[in-house]
Structure 1
Amino acid sequence: MRIAYLSYEHPKGISGGGIGTYIGQMAKIMAEAGHSVEVFSGIEEKVTYQAFKHDGYQLHLIPAEHTEIFREKVLKVFEAVHLAHPFDAMESPEYGADALEVKLKYPEIPLVVKLHTPTFLISKLNSDLNFLSKMRFVLGALRKGNRPKFFWSYNNEYDPEYVLTSLAEKVVSPSHSLAKIVSQKWNLETKVIVVPYPFKPNQQLLKTSEVSTKPFVVTFIGKLEKRKGVLGLMRAIPKILKKYPNVIFRFVGKALPSPKTGMDMQDYMLSKLSTFRKNLDFQGFQSYEKIPEYLETTSVCIFPSLWENFPNVCLETMAAGRVVVGTDNGGMADMIEDGKTGYLIKPSSSQAVARVILKLLESKPEELAMIGAQARDSVLKRYNANVIGDACTTIFKQIIHKVDSR
């Protein structure tokens, strides 16, 4: 098959996100399976257009400052390639609606939309607006004699991500949670199929040594922001340190804005936990290559997100043989078998965080090692390239047959 992937993000261009990681891995898997694969991605505007072979597929890097510009510019490059050597099918993330202009111009090309996390959901998770905030806004507008504009309202028809997804022959989600959320919000006629992202662990992860509990280090990896659940973790720390005063809480990730205007999340957490500064280790943003080093000296990892689609870092932790604690209302509920390959807790609950960490502190090192070993086995069996590649090949064949039969 001739397959095109259209994504603004790619590890060789606009990198740093899970979408780019997925596109790079998936394109390589499909190329290794014998398909003719070309990827159309973005790169900084100061760089000129580039096209070259990478990991067995053709990679096109198109200068674009942001997704809206990429959406327009990719059409010209894609069109030239397609007219010379037609594609059988294409795939695009819903986020950014990267393939929208291409699909509108070439509706006959079967399209798979792979869900990552749509903008409407990201906005909801990061929003600090509650009922009282909305009422204050409305009353303030009325006092000024203005008609309030409900800027928090949402309309599918004006969302390019919805438009692209509604045009797809197949919609695929990496998790059951995201499939349910998007299906209900967008009232999709097409049933959303669940196929996880592929996961090929860094060999360094597989070589991680046995769990060390002296000192006992609880590691969080990810952006320090509200939707990652760091505020609930912050509130749990004093409860844990009251009983185990020598625990170290390590944070690896970039600090984003906090609830306090003008203060980033790291400084905010330090101000709230000033009594426990000796127990806090903020490492800031670190490259992907350094993650195994931090996991090497980690006892337990915690990802208390309000919601997560399919956090690769959870799989990396499991591949490293470390116990992972995640929340039960997103993609981690698919990854973790509670009590066997990790632990699941309710989001936004500092009590739940404290309870599970205290339980793990009271566990023997060999018990932690056993859960870590089971987690590693689970990851290697369920998310390997052959399993995911076969599932994606089947989907492409189905939509090509469906379009040909029209």
Structure 2
Amino acid sequence: MAMIGRGFGATGGGVGVYLDGASRTLADAGVAVHVVTAAADGSARTQRDGLRTVHRLPLLPASCGWERQVAAFAMDAAERVAALHAAGAVDVAEVAEFEAAGLALQLLGRAAGGARRCPVQVHAHCPTAELMRMSSVPASLPGASVRRIDLAERASLLLADGVVTPSASQAGWLRGPLGLPIEPAVIPLPLADPGPPPPWPEGPPEVLYAGRLEPGKGVEALVRAWPAVAEAVPGARLRMAGADTSTAPGGGSMRAHLAALLEEAGVAPPAAAFLGALPPAGLAEARARARVCVVPSLWESFSWSCAEAMAAARPVVASDTGAMRELLGGCEGGWLFASGRVEALADALRRALQETPEAAAARGRRGRERVLRRCDPAANNAQRIQRFADLVARAEVRDPRPRRLPPDRRERLREVGVALARGGDGPHPAVSADAVPPAWHGWLGVRRERAGASAAAPGSMDLPEPPTRGTAEAALVPLLLACLTGDAAEPPAFAWAAAEEDPAAADAVDLVRVLAPGLRCLHPDAAWRRFGVDAADPGAGAEPLAAARRWLGLQPPVGDPGTTDARGDAAARLGRALQDLADRGVRRVALHGAGAHTRRGAAALAEPPVRIVAVLDDDPRRAGGSLFGHPVLGPDEAVARGLMEAVVLSSDAAEEQLAAGWAQRAAPGVEVVRLYA
């Protein structure tokens, strides 16, 4: 089997810890496992350890932006697993829903169909949007990227052959807000017996927190609760082990923010101390010294901190939400408190520390027995292996033709698409197909019939007219679904017209860039095939090929027919302008225009010859976001900050207007470059 996730091991967060542990226990059970993950240092390598093989793929640099990193890794991972499946080394894949790590593999499989499609099980850990919310990341920071990745994760879940999750609370979200039409299996994560628990500690009572210092972990409530605990239990000590983050209110160090809160309350070492990020051995030593472990997280799909503390026979004080309630259950292995409530947390910690050592040790033993039974690797592996075998068995009897989605799952995808077209902010409501203009029903699986003519043949160019401004957003819903379901081979010739008209439609185009498996400049041939076009024989489908290339924003090859319009050479014009500036010694450049022209041009520039410091836009609604990893700013702000030596007017439709604005703007020392004058 194959397992896909961008993070791996202790540095990869909860998903990375799961990938490492689960792949190891599956290999110990006799399953040949191929883990496909990212190499943060950029060096591709393959490491074999018994039946486990770890494939580390190069990761795009952070300067490319989080969204492009995610999309590039998903595509590279899909190609690696598809090759392993074609070679007979992999029968089934499990992918993390986080960052839609397996969506490209799912889409490649739907394009291939039949025996060439690798069945995929999605493991639901924690949706990106929920993680951002719990971490109090400002909405303006990730902006549309989080919205698009969130929708990609939902699409991956809806396209899954099977879904598994570690807790009933997470399964409830999948069935409820997401509306997953298949029943998710609840299988707790495997936790090996760490051996005999450490002896009960002596000396001043210590409380241990283990986890990153970020809002979603409930650390501020813990620090605000601690002064009352320290006053009620003389000599009590709080130890906080975990890496610092820049998630303090207003930005900046969370550790510094928490230390300031403690100082204001009159709490000083040794009553409270920060241990920093500890290696596994150091964390085990800190846990051995603790009388109580605290897990104040606002929500967890599975809490390793809680499970590992219970396995070490330490009583746990935890939030009464998510997986913590399920792990502790009714075993009396700890105390639950109302999530986020400072007074309730302080009361639970007081009661825990005031319990006699004998009673506390007995409580810890009960918790240990429960968690080792619930997370037993042997039982866990048996359930997983049986599910994998069932997926493979169903795949072997599939119709060899590409499979259409069942109607109920197509309906859920339709709702995701409509939510996307409406902007993607907030909850995604269930919207009926009636909300989509009838002209687009053909893209939703209902073949249109023209008067006096037969139904359009698959792959034909019988497309609706480009949408008007009023229907631009809804027009992109079927574009999304066509890519998701593989039910349409026609290229989306209308996409640019819609994206030019409306910012939300342009965001939708960006999402489809992430979703569709070949939509990446490094893999143009896969992109053409995605639209049913044979790149090796462009003469057989010149117009579809040209439309697909224009939509992707890629530079057309020499002699390619049908790509001579002004918009088709955005990348070429932008590349020549930037190279000219570089040749003249200009090093810092801004692009004015955050619309489709810049999106097409910048997407095809793998390594710009100058540093692009920002993308400028006159619409204040776009300021604060990012485009291809570059911040989006207002032009006046960029001038005031002295960011650039030159600005390139990146718009074919509004160049005159932009040039007039710069003629009136006081910007000494900033050269204005036009592409179409």
Alignment TM-score, normalising by the size of structure 2: 0.53
Q: Secondary structure at the match of 2:239?
A: strand
Q: Which runs of 5+ in 2 are unaligned?
A: 61-68, 111-116, 399-677
**Partners of 2:200 and 2:291 within 8 A in 1:** no
Task: Give the Cα–Cα distance (whole angstroms) in 2 for the partners of residues 342 and 238 of structure 1.
Answer: 21
In the alignment, residue 54 of structure 2 is paired with which amino acid?
Answer: L
Match of 2:328 in 1: 336
Check 1:371–1:152 CA distance in 2 against 1; reply closer, same or farther (3 A cut).
farther
Paired-residue identity, %: 26
* Structure 1 residue 50 displacement after superposition: 1.5
Q: Partner residue of 2:176?
A: 184
Larger radius of gyration between Structure 1 and Structure 2: 2
Aligned residue for 1:370, secondary structure, equals helix
Question: Which of 222, 231, 234 matches 2:223?
Answer: 234
1:56 Cα deviation from its structure 2 partner? 2.1
Pairs aligned (count): 380
State the superposition RMSD in angstroms.
2.4
Aligned to 1:126: 135
SS state at 1:186 partner: coil
What is the CA–CA distance in structure 2 between the aligned matches of 1:80 and 1:337, rounded to whole Å?
44
Name the structure 2 match of 1:7.
Answer: 5
Letter in 2 for 1:7: G
Partner Cα distance (1:56, 1:186) in 2:
36
The letter for the 1-side match of 2:213 is L
| Residues 1:277 and 2:268 are matched in the alignment | yes
* 1:211/1:368 contact within 8 Å kept: no
**Residue 298 of structure 2: which of 303, 306, 322 is its match?**
306
Residues 260 and 110 of structure 1: is their aligned pair in 2 closer, same or farther, counting only changes over 3 Å?
Answer: closer
Residue 196 of structure 1 aligns with which residue? Answer: 188
Deviation at residue 128 of structure 1 after TM alignment: 6.7
> 1:182-204, CA deviations, whole angstroms, 9 ceiling, x for partnerless residues?
3322211111111011011434x
Mapping of 1:7-406 within 5 angstroms? 7-11=5-9, 15-47=11-43, 49-65=44-60, 66-85=69-88, 87-107=90-110, 108-127=117-136, 159-203=151-195, 206-212=196-202, 214-274=203-263, 275-278=266-269, 279-338=271-330, 340-406=332-398
The whole-number CA distance in structure 2 between the counterparts of 1:397 and 1:156 is 33
Distance 1:338 1:346, change over 3 A: farther
Contact persistence 2:137–2:247 (CA under 8 A): no
Letter in 1 for 2:199: S
Cα deviations by residue, 1:138-184 (Å, 9 ceiling, x for unpaired): xxxxxxxxxxxxx6898689721111111111111101111112332
Describe the SS at the equivalent of 1:62. Answer: strand
Post-superposition offset of 1:105:
1.2
Deviations 1:64-87 (A, max 9, x none): 134322112223322332222253
2:113 is matched with which residue? Answer: none
Counterpart of 2:20, as a letter, is G
Q: Secondary structure of 2:322's match?
A: coil
Cα distance in 2 for partners of 1:298, 1:253 equals 15
3-state secondary structure, aligned to 1:23: helix
**Worse overlay, 335-344 or 193-202:** 335-344
Residue 219 of structure 1: how far off its partner (Å): 1.0
1:253 corresponds to which letter in structure 2? G
Q: Any conservation in 2 of the 1:37–1:58 contact (CA below 8 Å)?
A: yes
The one-letter code of the counterpart of 2:131 is I
Query: Structure 1's 358 and 207: CA in aligned 2 closer, same or farther, altered over 3 A?
Result: closer
Answer whether contact 2:214 2:248 (CA < 8 A) is retained.
no
Change (3 A) 1:161 1:288: same
Once the two structures are superposed, residues 13-72 of structure 1 have per-residue CA deviations (whole angstroms, 9 ceiling, x without a partner) of: x9332212211222222223223322211112431x212312422221111134322112
Q: Deviations over 1:241-274 (max 9, x none)?
A: 2222321111001122354435422221221221
Check whether the contact 1:201–1:316 (CA below 8 A) recurs between aligned residues: no
1:294-335 Cα shifts (integer Å, max 9, x gaps) = 011101011111111111121111111111111111111111
Describe the SS at the equivalent of 2:244.
coil
Alpha-carbon contact 1:157-1:163 (below 8 Å) kept: no
Question: TM-score if structure 1 supplies the norm length?
Answer: 0.87
What CA distance in whole angstroms lies between the structure 2 residues aligned with 1:85 and 1:153?
A: 36
**Alignment partner, residue 144 of structure 1:** none
Contact 1:40 1:74 in 2 (8 A): yes
SS of equivalent to 1:277: coil
Point out which structure has higher relative CO (alpha carbons under 8 A, 6+ apart).
1
Q: What SS is found at the alignment partner of 1:210?
A: coil
CA–CA separation in structure 2 for the residues paired with 1:268 and 1:59: 39
Q: CA 1:311/1:77 → structure 2, altered by over 3 Å: closer, same or farther?
A: same
Q: 1:153, 1:69 → 2: CA distance?
A: 14
Once residues 241 and 389 of structure 1 are traced to their aligned partners in structure 2, the CA distance between those partners, rounded to angstroms, is 43
Task: Supply the AA of the counterpart residue of 1:63.
Answer: P
- Cα gap change, 1:325/1:201 in structure 2, threshold over 3 Å: closer, same or farther? same
- Aligned residue for 2:607? none
Q: SS of the residue aligned with 1:343?
A: strand
Structure 1 residues 123 and 157: CA distance shift in structure 2, 3 A: closer
Q: Distance in 1 between matches of 2:38 and 2:323?
A: 27
From the superposition, tell whether residues 125 and 175 of structure 1 become closer, same or farther in structure 2 (CA, over 3 Å).
same
